[in-house]
Amino acid sequence: MNHTADQHGNEPLDRAKGYVYIVGAGPGDPELITVKAQRVLSEADVILYDDLVSLELVDQFNALKIYTGKRKDSHHFEQEEINREIVRHASEGKTVVRLKGGDPFIFGRGGEEIDTLRNVGIHYEIIPGITAAHGASAYTEIPLTMRRISSSVAFCTGHPVNRIQVPDTDTIVYYMVASTVHDVLDAVAAKGRSGATMVAVVQSATQYNQKTYTGTLDEFRRREKAVYSPALLIIGDSIGQFIEHNWHSRKKKVLMTGGDSSRYSSTDYIMVHFPCRKISGADLDAVNRVLDHIADYSLLFFPNKFSVKYFFRFLFESGRDVRSLAHMTICTAGSAAAAELQESGLVADHYLEPDGTVGYAERLRELCVSGQQILLPGSSITDDSLVAGLTQMGNSVTPLGVYAHEVRQDEVIDLDFIDEIYFSSPVCVRNFQTLFKTIPGRITVTTADRSTQNEYDSLFGD
């Protein structure tokens, strides 16, 4: 069948070629994603994401995820390879999201990617993101424009050093300056800016470990302190509005190793999630055996949202649906698991929250759970204390690993910025201990229940 363009000159959409979204993920804080970006990510078949995109954001979605790892001088994929990957998956009829840090059209090379898509006739959309300059401005309280101080602003890049632009604007923001700060400052000084001009360097803007350094142009040119990527340089008198004790720095940073983050108020805390990405590293033979005998189980207990997410992925991939669970009592631990369950069309029979002294096994004891055949989906690392507690109550428990943990070393948490650590289970304590042998004494440690506290005392106690 021959397709013709419509009366407006638009080419007809070739569904066989798939569809591509070029999406801005924002500057680092995973909550700065737009509503539209959230929707298309949830509908995607494939997500290709950059190094500066938060894994906490990426792990929320079920698509095939491809880490492109683009950072200056350390590319897992070169740009041409990324273009080919986008085209390859779209050509298979898939919905592809190219997820980029910040905004795709502000030093994000989004223009190059849509050029490729135009050339091969693949349809696409661009979804803007909050660019790093906007994020850094809001999270440091440095306004980019301000009446009587700054009525113009320019975004520039610190590369290449032999072509650094110095626009005649009140405020200049330079991207990608981790290795070129002094080159940029020298160029600004050579253009005639006063040595008393205010300067700020913002590292890891909008993230828990955001750090801001301020001073004058002359002071910064004399400094030898290294700047670490990602870094942003702001030049202009509006920096005079910066205060050290701003809204972002006032909040305590609590490291969540699991559990429900609603226990901490977002007005007082910034939740930092332990960077163990969850991957479907299940023993497929074991999963299939369990699903083939799903009728043998009387109670299904989900200890976290990831156990829900991956269990239902395997359930649906096996050709079954929620009707297979109609005979079972379903329990969830925490509101996040309950919310994830509702995404699959089910409401938990029992929604459990432990207090500070008892664990989930004790809460199930209060519900008189005994003599049950319990299926316990979860991590490939079994929570032995939970299994033991349920078994002592006269239940038969079958742990089922439906996901595994994988730590990306460049996302290891910097404990210098952490005020409190919350351990939600003994397994989380053990996972944490694989990366950190000690915990600084100034950090407050909170545990969900007695068994988690015991595990913490065993691994980190004096």
How many whole angstroms separate alpha carbon 80 and alpha carbon 83?
A: 5
Give the number of residues written for the chain.
462
Between strands 396-407 and 276-279, the pairing is: antiparallel
DSSP 212-246: EEEEEHHHHHH------SSEEEEESGGGGG--TT-
Residue 196 tokens read as 């008393």
Does residue 70 have an active-site annotation? Answer: yes
Triad 253, 206, 130: Cα angle to 5°: 150
Q: Give the alpha-carbon dihedral of 436, 201, 161, 167, to 10 degrees.
A: 150
Q: How far is CA 162 from CA 75, 233, 235, 256, 346, in A?
A: 23, 18, 19, 44, 60
Residue 121 tokens read as 């006739």
The catalytic residue among 17, 29, 65, 70 is 70
DSSP 416-429: GG-SEEEE-SHHHH
Q: How many CA atoms lie within 13 A of 208 on its CB side?
A: 25
The catalytic residue among 50, 51, 170, 260 is 50
Q: Annotated catalytic sites, by residue?
A: 50, 70
